[in-house]
Structure 1
């Protein structure tokens, strides 16, 4: 985790199973905590450790962070027409006079003119009050810490979640792998029925493999590696790993070159059809997400637990 002095934004808080940053910030902003000792106690830490962690993670002392966040919340409340005295008391100031002096020093205007200024104050860490009772953390605008775009997040989550489901399917018996728990289930007509866990998971991999061949101008791939009758979860996992790497590389290459708007005219269709690359990616992600949820439900029917398919849940654990 980087030193706050080296970055204008806090590190992501979701990369450790437990969101410790959120816990610490809640202790700082809890109205019931009147001083650092109270904050530390509510977060089950010593005062020394608590203060050190807050400063390390945010670049501010707990008292300074709390004061700024409370001022931002107070300014927002004043802009909504609440009385100065009531806001001052609720936000922890000893009197309206003390609050007014603090407000003027920070915003350059008295509380009566709160509507003339934005409620956000300069922050060394990008952390701000966010109405009505939340916090907002600005991302770091620097290229070294730039967050990937939404499509990249969805692509990485898709292949990782698929790998997870295939791994969980490896705990099934061969009979469960092929069991037709959803007779007649068809997702896309041209892919055929997908009545079993094996069929659904194979179809996820097959869909990417077909489009990769179309984009590369390669021969139509054989289906033996993605037919549940001819493969098992362990073999599918190996095949998926190869297809996923190629899929991510293809999207990355065309994206970097600014060519996701290119069009491939598929002569294998009757009649031939044209597809723009970003449309192909959206198609694959849409039906992969649908099939992953089908597979989840089918695995649950076999007594196999899986993690949630929610990208937010996935981000918390990565």
Structure 2
């Protein structure tokens, strides 16, 4: 059994205890078919925290998520976290986060990762109801960039391989832009909305939320939505790169069934699909007589930043 396998097995019982915060340490050890002493020793060795401290921290992280993602009262959240009163929960929350629960509810974090409390193991609550283990390796910005290049080269290899099965007529037939894998029946308005919604969608997923409201598709509405979503998406990427957490995972709660993604994979996804939509949108603007955006090539932008 690997270290990760052992940690996963132990955390299975810790996670089960989150749904029953009244369960005693003896109860959790019994469920794992271990003595209290042996269970405590294994948890402490695997996570660097005693079981009680680990569970209290995870319950507080879950409580912080509940405060920002539900309409539950603070007392309801407190009881769910195993506290007998509003006052006891507020004291514990204040010690852990430095602010009372009402402050966290008023100031919604950029992503749920900001609600994670410091710990030696890297094990945190993962919305909507699981635990996140630390990434098995570090994923840097340069790694993600290299992976994107590798993906392009490998995909081009596959395209050429499939093209080899076609005759000359198919190979030389004029191409009508086909974007069935991305958008159906795109218009300039729909392309802009898709790019804005993409920012909103992934930010909501990173917060453990639902699909965003994309009903306002007026140009003014799109501008207002993008002003917020673009700012927050830019900040999320910057913080993720600075923290070196590109290999960390999250559960996308906006889809059914929920799916697990890495932060780096999500950033790469947005860059790639947005590039297709952005190119099409700039082409639509050119057709309408607006040509000052050029081809939307990022090279001059990157060159200028490097210079």
Fold shared per TM-score above 0.5: no
Flag the structure with more relative contact order, 1 or 2, with Cα contacts below 8 A and sequence separation at least 6: 1
**What TM-score does the superposition give when structure 1 sets the normalisation length?**
0.40
Give TM-score scaled by structure 2 length. 0.42
Question: Rg bigger for which structure?
Answer: 1
